[in-house]
Amino acid sequence: MKFASTRLIAADIKAMVSFYEMVTGLTADWQAPVFAEIVTPAGTLAIGAAETVGLWQDGSAEPGHNRTATLEFQVEDIDADYARLKDKVPLVHDLKTMPWGNRTFQFRDPEGTAVSLYMPQTEAAKQRFGSR
């Protein structure tokens, strides 16, 4: 089994896609007017409009109601990304080093999903992620 993507359901798909293009610096690939993907080296962030929910089952997903998942993006220079984004995103917390060794900051996307950018900081974290 291969983990392929995470999909967000958006009430305003254009705003969500623009937000994640700004955060990642990548351009979305629009597969349909109601569905776009941002492909990263590690996986894909898929964004579907609210009207796509009915293709599975009505009510099976609801935009703006996620409070259990955090999207995490590993970056090369956490300080540079923090400086670039801190005034453009609603911060949850400023830069800090977590007990497991990652230096991170967290913010929310336009519909409330938590997003963390991080960089392995401690030697143990760098070894875990294969970065030295």
Give me the chain's average pLDDT, please: 92
Instruction: Please tell me the predicted confidence (pLDDT) of residue 61.
Output: 75
Strands (E) located in the chain: 5-10, 29-32, 35-39, 44-49, 70-74, 91-97, 102-108, 114-120
Per-residue pLDDT at 67 = 79
Residue type, 22: M
What mean pLDDT comes out for the span 72-98?
Answer: 97
Architecture of domain 69-132: Roll (3.10)
- What's the CATH number for 1-54? 3.30.720.120
Q: Is residue 92 within 8 Å of 107, Cβ to Cβ?
A: yes
Question: Tens digit of pLDDT for each residue in 45-81?
Answer: 999 999 988 777 787 778 888 878 899 999 999 999 9
Range 106-130 average pLDDT? 94
Parse the chain into domains and list their residue ranges.
1-54, 69-132
Q: Average pLDDT, stretch 98-125? A: 95
Tell how far CA 94 is from the center of its chain.
17
Of 51-55, 68-72, 90-94, 121-125, the one with minimum mean pLDDT is 51-55
